[in-house]
Amino acid sequence: MPINQPSNQIKLTNVSIVRLKKGGKRFEVACYKNKVEEWRNGRETNLDEVLQISAVFVSVSKGEQAKTDDIMNAFNNTDQSEVVRAILKYGDLQVGEKEREHKLAALRKDIANRVMESVVDPATQRQFSIGIIEKALSDVGFSVNPSKSEKSLVLAAIKLLQDHPSLKIQRARMRVRVTIPVEDVERLQTQVHEQAALVEVSETHDALWETTLQIDPSHFSVYKELLKKECKAGRLDVVNHTVTATAVADTTS
């Protein structure tokens, strides 16, 4: 005798799921992933375009729909459209294991590239290859936390490399230009120059004195504070965010 599937079970495959835990219960809706993002950004307003099926589930993978009493207790509402909107707005979009691994790999690659652009070999002031950076990050046990911003991950990766002897690195210098009125030069020139890793050029144009410097990125805020406190008519401009030695091409005769 054939076994009849319960009427509240609907089998779905190849779906994206938005899940919300509320009132001690789990609620899910089956969606098209790209449409979820469009709906949250306001570019899509038609729920029929977002949902693969207009139903609220306890488990999409098992095809088990939520009971009306549970929906009422959790949302104080049984209007399916309103409940679905709440799940879409506040729920978590579930990501498959392969997709998660792909995203983590891509994020790790982006971080390695940004680290490569931000550091140099202190002996040569040249950038390392991406391969060297990736190996060094692996050697020091750097792991990607997708809940953190990419900027914070890059800074954490750089600090980890600086604290580990596997690779000697240095933050690439910034090139900045400080401009102040000539009447303030005698009072401020020493303070401006003493924080610099390298003073490239200083010159006077009309009533303004300009000096171009290479500085450690951590000193940028020091210059901003100096000008704010000592010379409100002064300016600090970034010429280059990273300065590295120019690679010399090998030549053969």
Which domains are delineated in the chain?
16-93 (3.30.1250.10), 97-170 (1.10.10.900), 172-243 (3.30.70.240)
User: Per-residue pLDDT tens for 20-46?
Assistant: 999 899 999 999 888 988 999 899 999
On the 0-12 / 13-18 / 19+ scale of CB atoms within 10 A, 129 is exposed
Distance CA 155, CA 197 (A): 21
pLDDT tier at 9 (50, 70, 90 boundaries)? very low
Decide if pLDDT at 7 tops 60.
no
User: Over 50: is that where the pLDDT of 221 sits?
Assistant: yes
Q: In what order do the strands lie in the sheet with 235-243?
A: 198-205, 208-215, 173-181, 235-243
- Closest of 177, 175, 178 to residue 240, by C-alpha: 175
C-alpha radius of gyration, the chain, whole number: 29
User: What confidence tens digit (pLDDT) does each residue in 130-165 have?
Assistant: 999 999 999 999 999 888 889 899 999 999 999 988
Task: Report, in this order, helix, strand and coil percent for the chain, each rounded to 5.
Answer: 40, 25, 35
